[in-house]
Structure 1
């Protein structure tokens, strides 16, 4: 037979090279993965099928023709067995031994492979020109074995397609389409036409159709990230282009044409190497970023768990503290009132300090409980329309003795309309106002504290609390409303705070569609805290 590179042989060479390269590349990515191993075995089976079809077109003797035909039949069995194993383990890497058809299929494959090489059992003889294979009755057994393996394989694939969902179902769909197309083409051109119609003119078409199966499975792999998709796609593309250029050069008619085309092949190969290196570098960088992102995500999850545990601890501890504090406050009040006998003035003074400390601790517990509820999404509000001037005035009256005791000039300037209502939770809004005014008094040693309420042109109720206290720099103003944040000088003036009051106030006002902020000209120049809430 002619040894000239015909289009049929060129196409089969490309198919062979493509599958061999793909098989070894995927195997090199993860030698321990069953999916990688079986897929590589499947691709090598297609490569062997293609190569044996080349061999049958260039053999010189009948003996060689029979041998290569037997190997060709064996290669299709390798494909069938590989596809069967692939259908078991893909995409979840299940154990092959779990399938009840595993042992029967393997036994059938071994028996059929042995029968193939028994003289004249499956293949009677061959003719070289025109190429034909004369089969015997054993060919029907071979066909039944081959088709049976395919049916078992498609049964596995269809079952998984019905059971799986999402990404895995999409993977199975592409495998199903590719293998069905290849099986249909292969059975028609390489089994039905040769065995039943004695026509061998298109047997080369089946191995080339193997590219459809490998291509669709590779697409499932590439599309859904089972292997290193970008590298695979780039290397396959580069290899195919380079191989095409080389074959084109080998088919040259003159030395000049060969030289030019070989130079083109060299240039394409060099470009392909540079391209693959670039892609490998990019993929490596992305893998490192992905690994770092995964670590950061895990760290974030751990922090969230710790934060949740902290909130739960705060909630439990706060509830446990509230009861004894209430008891202490109750007994202190009864002692001061003389319920247990007359108490000296010095004793009453001490008891009053105990009561005041209990009140402060109760407010701290309230802040901690509010923080816990906010972070747990369990904060509840009872919405009503309230007069903000009356609420602020009552807070001023309550804190007046505290200001008088420190000798501070305490002013209340109500410049709001007589009836200015806001929609709010009365107790929580009172907590905010109390916090702002109480802080101003606590952190002002001398001078004044001025509380003013106005209505802005934007229809907002604005409450400002101005003091002549410790003041703040710009950095403190940016941080003061954070969680567990205190000013630089405040610990020296007031050691009992934990930096929660302003944070809770900000969160409460945000739920009221309001805002809070601070202004100061600097340290020791006083501060002004503002809160705004919509007027209704």
Structure 2
């Protein structure tokens, strides 16, 4: 048998391959170009990504895919170039194993990439179980029936295992698409972009991997069929974009440099192909172009990365400045509050006779001073509360409570202040109970702040506080006061936001009161807003809270 095969090889006059892949059996230089174009970039990009973060599971899986794909490309080139039947049988069997293995690894890759964690053992077994028949029977006649001695095409007969391999490849591809679609529905906008890119890249890569055989079999034009091997650079292009855009594999600049280097090296290989007229001039011009474009690409990517890293440094500096500002605010406010407290005791002492009898004129001044001190202390407390709420230092004691009790009590507490200004206050409560889950202290602050706001900006008329239940609890505080202009409305509920007209009426306005209301209401999963028909037509403030 060995003698007959050797005689057959001599009759077909095949060229003896050097280094397994160099021979005149390769009928078109494009075969070499397409294979090296796919092999070099895939391996180098995978290697560089892996070396940048060896502990990353995503990087490890990607490197495995690119390495195995490079081995598949090399095996395919051996089939094109080699004349030894036993080597052709071996590398053909190797391809039978590698091709579905790449598909399985791509399923694993998209799982790890999207979920950011490893798969459990059950899912790993689920992916690998389809490969068991291929691994068990790849070296038997179920995979390859034998070397074809009926012609000089250097082919083998394919068994049923090859068709099985095509079948599980379809299963793996559908698996990827279904998983990606499912995850796409349940993630945010940025994650959706990443899923679209990784799924598109993997799908193009896998389709391109098998398209060569399909195109070649249908057209019998194996030069055209080489377009399939360009699938890996397409995948790498998606990968390079994701590295820059999303930092998906933490490879940054080195991966982009590796891509350009690999492409340049693959084109450089054309210089050694001598069967195409003027190939050296064409390849040299292309190489120069790639060097120029590659330089511009690397410089542009490097500039973008430097800007991002600079921005990250500025963000760190900004956080430090914010912390310093917060520390300064706390220091100043505590000092100011201490001063207000000390002068408050002095004015209180004057009024209660601690310092002896005082004249009516001094008593009036002391009363004004005490009012100013109380207002200053309230302002300091307000600023401190805002800072603490923003930093999450205040923990809400969420408990079931009746919001009606808070509203009614706050209205009664404010009645004297309202009537002292010559105003009226009315409470309209439709039901006996309004159950919410919240912090009683801070919800009282919300109601108190809104009523105080109406008192300050209403010269005459009345204030109406109402509670209603329309699926959610709605608190409304309406007044017949100053009203809100469209311009001032934009500044409501913002930090330090004060209206132009509100400052004229209340020079002590800080703009932190309504901002506090907004933070507290949102912490209770509610919303707050204001309405007004315009200047001089009163205001309506609304707070909506979920029913417990």
- Per the TM alignment, residue 173 of structure 1 is displaced from its structure 2 partner at its CA by 0.9
- Per the TM alignment, residue 238 of structure 1 is displaced from its structure 2 partner at its CA by 4.6
| Pair 1:120-2:111 in alignment | no
Question: What does residue 35 of structure 1 align with?
Answer: 58
Task: Map residues 380-459 of structure 1 onto 2, 5 A cutoff.
Answer: 380=453, 382-383=456-457
- Do the aligned partners of 1:87 and 1:154 also contact (CA within 8 Å) in 2? no
Structure 1 residues 315 and 220: CA distance shift in structure 2, 3 A: same
- Do the aligned partners of 1:230 and 1:279 also contact (CA within 8 Å) in 2? no
- Do the aligned partners of 1:322 and 1:362 also contact (CA within 8 Å) in 2? no
Among 358, 379, 382, the residue aligned to 1:370:
379
- Per the TM alignment, residue 159 of structure 1 is displaced from its structure 2 partner at its CA by 1.8
Question: What does residue 481 of structure 1 align with?
Answer: none
What secondary structure, in the 3-state scheme, does the structure 1 residue paired with 2:42 have?
Answer: helix
Question: What does residue 213 of structure 1 align with?
Answer: 235
> Rg larger in 1 or in 2?
1
- Per the TM alignment, residue 169 of structure 1 is displaced from its structure 2 partner at its CA by 0.6
Question: What does residue 17 of structure 1 align with?
Answer: 40
- Do the aligned partners of 1:318 and 1:365 also contact (CA within 8 Å) in 2? no
Among 76, 86, 103, the residue aligned to 2:125:
103
| Pair 1:251-2:242 in alignment | no
Task: Map residues 458-497 of structure 1 onto 2, 5 A cutoff.
Answer: none
Question: What does residue 240 of structure 1 align with?
Answer: 263
- Per the TM alignment, residue 174 of structure 1 is displaced from its structure 2 partner at its CA by 1.7
CA distance in 2, matches of 1:269, 1:190: 30
| Pair 1:64-2:55 in alignment | no
CA distance in 1, matches of 2:369, 2:499: 20
Which structure ranks higher in relative contact order (CA pairs < 8 Å, sequence separation ≥ 6)?
2
- Per the TM alignment, residue 140 of structure 1 is displaced from its structure 2 partner at its CA by 3.3
- Do the aligned partners of 2:36 and 2:266 also contact (CA within 8 Å) in 1? no
Structure 1 residues 199 and 258: CA distance shift in structure 2, 3 A: closer
- Per the TM alignment, residue 44 of structure 1 is displaced from its structure 2 partner at its CA by 2.2
Question: TM-score, normalising length from structure 1?
Answer: 0.57
What secondary structure, in the 3-state scheme, does the structure 1 residue paired with 2:185 have?
Answer: helix
Question: What does residue 160 of structure 1 align with?
Answer: 183
CA distance in 2, matches of 1:233, 1:59: 35
What secondary structure, in the 3-state scheme, does the structure 1 residue paired with 2:379 have?
Answer: helix
Structure 1 residues 56 and 142: CA distance shift in structure 2, 3 A: same
- Per the TM alignment, residue 370 of structure 1 is displaced from its structure 2 partner at its CA by 3.4
- Do the aligned partners of 1:22 and 1:236 also contact (CA within 8 Å) in 2? yes
Structure 1 residues 6 and 129: CA distance shift in structure 2, 3 A: farther
Question: What does residue 100 of structure 2 align with?
Answer: 77
Give the gaps of 5 or more residues in structure 2: 1-13, 15-24, 387-448, 461-480, 484-495, 508-548
- Per the TM alignment, residue 65 of structure 1 is displaced from its structure 2 partner at its CA by 1.3
Structure 1 residues 71 and 191: CA distance shift in structure 2, 3 A: farther
- Per the TM alignment, residue 115 of structure 1 is displaced from its structure 2 partner at its CA by 2.3
- Do the aligned partners of 2:146 and 2:157 also contact (CA within 8 Å) in 1? yes
What secondary structure, in the 3-state scheme, does the structure 2 residue paired with 1:91 have?
Answer: helix
- Do the aligned partners of 2:347 and 2:370 also contact (CA within 8 Å) in 1? no
CA distance in 2, matches of 1:311, 1:148: 67
CA distance in 2, matches of 1:126, 1:317: 97
| Pair 1:298-2:307 in alignment | no
- Do the aligned partners of 1:231 and 1:276 also contact (CA within 8 Å) in 2? no
Task: Map residues 116-155 of structure 1 onto 2, 5 A cutoff.
Answer: 116=138, 118-127=139-148, 129-130=152-153, 132-155=155-178
- Do the aligned partners of 2:344 and 2:370 also contact (CA within 8 Å) in 1? no
Question: What does residue 390 of structure 2 align with?
Answer: none
- Per the TM alignment, residue 49 of structure 1 is displaced from its structure 2 partner at its CA by 2.5
- Do the aligned partners of 2:184 and 2:195 also contact (CA within 8 Å) in 1? yes
CA distance in 1, matches of 2:326, 2:107: 45
CA distance in 1, matches of 2:246, 2:59: 15
Count of matched residue pairs = 383
Structure 1 residues 274 and 175: CA distance shift in structure 2, 3 A: closer
Give the gaps of 5 or more residues in structure 1: 338-347, 387-422, 426-503, 517-536
- Per the TM alignment, residue 19 of structure 1 is displaced from its structure 2 partner at its CA by 0.6
Deviations 1:397-428 (A, max 9, x none): xxxxxxxxxxxxxxxxxxxxxxxxxx999xxx
Among 503, 509, 517, the residue aligned to 1:512:
503
Question: What does residue 177 of structure 1 align with?
Answer: 200
CA distance in 2, matches of 1:315, 1:140: 83
Structure 1 residues 310 and 109: CA distance shift in structure 2, 3 A: farther
Question: What does residue 518 of structure 2 align with?
Answer: none
